[in-house]
Structure 1
Amino acid sequence: MRTFTAQDVLEKAQEYNVKFIRLQFTDIYGVFKNIAITVEELERALEGCIPFDSSVIEGLRGNKESDIYLIPDPTTFQIFPWRPREGAVARLICDVHSPDNRPFAGCSRWVLKKALKEAGELGYRLQVGAEIEFFLFNLDERGKPTTVTHDRAGYCDLTPVDLGENARRDMVLTLEEMGFDIASSHHEIAPGQHEISIKADDALTMADKIATFKFVVRTIAQRHGLHASFMPKPLPQHAGSGMNLHLSLWKDDKNAFYQQDGRLSLSPLAFAFIAGVIHHARAISAITNPLVNSYKRLVPSDVAPFLAAWSEENRSTSIRVPAHREENTVLALRSPDPTCNPYLAIAVVLKCGLDGVDKGMVPPDKLAERGNGQPKVMPARLPSNLGQALDALEKDDLVAGVLGRRIYNNYLEAKRQEWDKFQSEIHPWELEQYLTYY
């Protein structure tokens, strides 16, 4: 994380002729929000004097609202490259505090900071990289998104088949101008599907980057006359979009997942961390896969991570251990999708992994590559739908504790309503299958 003070922000705003600042924050469902101020209000904002009410981040209105304040993090100051240089627009990502200047219990960024602080007290530091997939769709004549893909290309295809190459290039250039280290970008398996990979960074910075990434990608797509969608499964006959998180835990400036003479060159801590994540996997899914649509992606197939298991090569497992070792040893969590709240997702996965370390948990046997024999005990599936995931969340005290009572209650209530509403709807598939015959 770069060192940047409030005074640095004021000086940069003046130097680059910034006129507007967007104070950005994430609601508990992972949606980026903002309040725009003029540069004349910037000093007051940096002092934490911009108030609003808690319904903005909790998504609920009624008698539960609280007065809260935005506390900008100076290290997140960035100027939007796509806006005019004269009268420029910048942003600051904010934490949320109560009027007594304590962290607000509904602030998901604070949940991650708290989890990282507790890990730090044990001597651990989490690094996270991300591979994020999304679709580019055409717009209709009214400018509304369609499900007509921008191209018919496939995995790693080139121009002219990959019609999204120009948009993807502009996305990468914009992200890099905003301080991202991009590892790679390419067309994915499905038509109109793309992936951009972000190099590993400290966990809080990566959560900020993921939240920013979705905002930037959708903005640049719009400038190309396209709609970028992070919906996990928008096309029924094609692969869905995931967000692989590459996790590495560090202690004393060494990768704690690596041990040269260990089994598979992994440390006992790595196996215990894997075990902790698998043990809590069903409850974790309620956070990492938060939509009804998320579970249309997590269905049995050769590439969908639908099993609460781990492997080196089998792509059906939620955790994969890539081949690289030593300082590059990572655990790739493949089940999350890009609609999740990155702050809550990373916090929950970290604490569940460390629960495995604390309790000396032992993971199940690794799953072999498909066709190379079955394990003695078949691994459990991740939840098949949002309702099952919420049931698991209600039974998992550790995950509930990481979220904190306020976020846990509000999140569970809203997601139960979402699931119940879906259950009460009549879907086209049902009419097609049943209306004529019954």
Structure 2
Amino acid sequence: MEASERDSRADRAREAVDRLAADGVDGVALTWVDTSGITRVKAVPLARLPHAAAWGAGAAPVFDTFLVDDGSVLGRFAGGPVGDLRLHPDLDRLVPLAATPGWAWAPAERFDQAGVPHPLDGRWLVRREVGRLGADGIHVRAGFEVEWCVSRGPGDAFTPATTGPAYGMIRLVELAPYLREVLAALAAQGVAVEQIHPEYAHGQFEVSVAPEDPLGAADTVVLAQETIRAVSAAHGLRPSFAPKVVAGAVGNGRHVHLSLWRDGASLMSGGGGPLGLDRVGEAFAAGILDRLPALLALGAPSVASYLRLMPSLWAGAYACWGLENREAALRMIAGPNANLEVKCVDAAANPYLLLAGLLAAGRAGVAAAARLPDPVPVDPAVLAPGERAERGIERLPESLTAAVVAFEADEVLAAALGPAVIDTVATVRRGEIALFEGADDETVVAATRWRY
């Protein structure tokens, strides 16, 4: 990092300090998401923000190899007690936290001591993939759905905070002040909410945020999730974003919506491909579909993820696509805001790593002019095995082990993400597999329920 850039960062931070001080801010939380999908933080006093902007706040690289239980493993490129990274706040996303008075937040980018981007930094990986697509004139808009289950009462057991029926108005009425404050806090932080509603599982709700550039979308889902957590705590509630909150019940997803654009025109509608896709949009979607088994190591990265990823639970357990088909792993959404929804992923995922992988897979599809198979108009689980085989509809990996095998074998993801990412992701995933080896579903769910 050049001296002029450090000076510019410090100057911008000084301007922000005056503004934040007027808002009563005393500290700034700098967050990043580790390989296990947990948001980690280092915080600085407000007066220290210019120094952090210029020189970064220290953080050990060992966090790349942390497991869901805060243990760690050792990979070829990460892990162990040696080394240091610098966390530089992205001042463009710096915002006071509406539900955490006295605090502001900024996502952090990780650099080494010489100011070189850390090869495992998720924000840098997303920026790189966005740039590669942009070189071909392709621009992506992305957005996340945030699902969570709300618990009331002491202890680590899950006690639904509302007993109303799925999607029922009863739930909204029972928790109206809480949900109103969620909306108000998100709005105060500049997060554009498109929809909020009760969901299917016990005590479950969902917020859908507006699409934006991929890096902004990943930042926003982190901010939204932590805002929901803070509002919940203020109401004496506890949110779980885990893939599975109650063993045997429906879990939480965190679906990703993607749309493709070129010269201001949608590549997801009005074209000559299937269901109106432009041929470039079709190729992008086909690239993702082809690599879904490997992408699950990024998007469904927990042992608990595979307790959620079951057929006929709207989790997208089959590698297929379809128009408004909520059982397909890729759901095509038609209309003026046509987009592709990736349903087989959850909130155990690092959103930056997941988006980098999805963009790389889509880019490979575009380069290969890939084509989609016929869309599937029914729940794939109701088809006879022979018909699924004839149509090329395969079940996605049923275990984290199988997803890791596919991930390590995928040459496209290896070339796009680099050896440090591939080795570290696989090492951390195997660490979690070993952690829960022989554990029953109840044990896995209890151990992961409150971690994300």
Normalised by the length of structure 1, the TM-score is 0.89
Q: Is the contact between residue 27 and residue 107 of structure 1 (CA under 8 Å) also seen in structure 2?
A: no
Partner in structure 2 of residue 72 of structure 1: 89
Count of residues in correspondence between the two structures: 418
Shift of 1:138: 2.0
1:372 Cα offset (Å):
9.4
Pairing 1:109-188 to 2, within 5 Å after superposition: 109-140=123-154, 144-159=155-170, 163-188=174-199
Taking the TM superposition and a 5 Å limit, the aligned residue runs for 1:6-21 are: 6-21=13-28
The answer to whether 1:253 aligns with 2:267 is no
Higher relative contact order (CA 8 A, sep 6+): 2
Q: 8 Å contact 2:143–2:210 — kept in the other structure?
A: yes
Shift of 1:315: 2.0
Say if 1:298 and 1:305, in contact at 8 Å, map to a contact too: yes
In 2, are the aligned partners of 1:246 and 1:332 still within 8 Å (CA)? yes
CA contact (8 A) 2:27 2:46 kept: yes
Cα distance in 1 for residues equivalent to 2:442 and 2:60: 39
**Does 2:375 match 1:361?**
no
Q: Percent identity?
A: 25
Q: Which amino acid aligns with 2:353?
A: L
Whole-angstrom distance in 1 between the partners of 2:49 and 2:405:
44
Whether the 8 Å contact between 2:318 and 2:328 is mirrored in structure 1 is yes
Q: CA deviation at 1:410?
A: 1.9
Q: d(CA) in 1 for partners of 2:436 and 2:82?
A: 27
Q: Distance in 2 between matches of 1:89 and 1:13?
A: 9
> Aligned partner of 1:228: which letter?
P
In structure 2, the CA distance between the partners of 1:263 and 1:280, relative to structure 1 (3 Å rule), is closer
Correspondence for 1:92:
106
Of 34, 40, 47, the residue aligned with 1:33 is 40
| 2:228 matches 1:217 | yes
CA distance in 2, matches of 1:209, 1:75: 12
Give distance in 2, aligned partners of 1:428 and 1:181.
36
1:128–1:203: 8 Å Cα contact kept in structure 2? Answer: yes
Residue 183 of structure 1: how far off its partner (Å): 0.4
Decide whether the 8 Å contact of 1:19 with 1:38 is kept in 2.
yes
Cα distance between partner residues in 2 of 1:13 and 1:304: 42
Cα distance in 2 for partners of 1:90, 1:161 equals 29
Distance in 2 between residues matched to 1:163 and 1:387, nearest whole Å: 41
What SS does structure 2 have at the residue aligned with 1:201?
A: coil
Q: 1:125 to 1:138 in 2, by over 3 A?
A: same
Structure 2: runs of 5 or more not aligned = 1-10, 67-71, 444-452
Kindly state the Cα deviation for residue 400 of structure 1 after the two structures are TM-superposed: 2.8
Q: TM-score, normalised by structure 2?
A: 0.87
Q: Residue 347 of structure 1 aligns to which amino acid in structure 2? A: A
Gaps of 5+ in 1: 430-438
- Aligned equivalents of 1:285, 1:52: Cα separation in 2: 28
1:47 to 27, 31, 54: 54
Equivalent position SS for 1:368: coil
Opposite residue 408 of structure 1, the aligned amino acid is I
Shift of the alpha carbon at 1:7?
A: 4.8
Report the equivalent of 2:282: 271
Moved more, 165-174 or 128-137: 165-174
- 2: CA distance, partners of 1:305 / 1:93: 30
Q: After TM superposition, give the deviation of residue 201 of structure 1 in Å.
A: 1.0
Contact kept, 8 Å, 2:86 with 2:111, in 1: the verdict is yes
- 1:386 corresponds to which residue? 400
Q: Which residue type is aligned with residue 204 of structure 2?
A: Q
For the residues of structure 2 that align with 1:110 and 1:102, how far apart are their CA atoms?
Answer: 11
Query: Does the aligned pair in 2 maintain the 1:242–1:338 contact within 8 Å?
Result: yes
Counterparts of 2:171 and 2:315, CA distance in 1: 28
What RMSD in Å do the two structures reach over aligned CA positions?
A: 2.3
Letter in 1 for 2:167: C
Partner of 1:146: helix, strand, or coil?
Answer: coil
Single out whichever of 239-248 and 262-271 deviates more from structure 2: 262-271
- Paired residue for 1:288, among 285, 299, 322? 299
- Report the 3-state secondary structure (helix = DSSP H, G, I; strand = E; otherwise coil) of the residue aligned with 1:233: coil
Query: How far off is 1:63 after superposition?
Result: 4.2
CA distance in 1, matches of 2:83, 2:261: 38
Please tell me whether the aligned partners of residues 5 and 75 of structure 1 are also in contact (alpha carbons under 8 angstroms).
no
SS in 2 for 1:123: coil
Q: Is the 8 A contact 2:250 2:313 kept in 1?
A: no
Letter in structure 2 aligned against 1:294: S
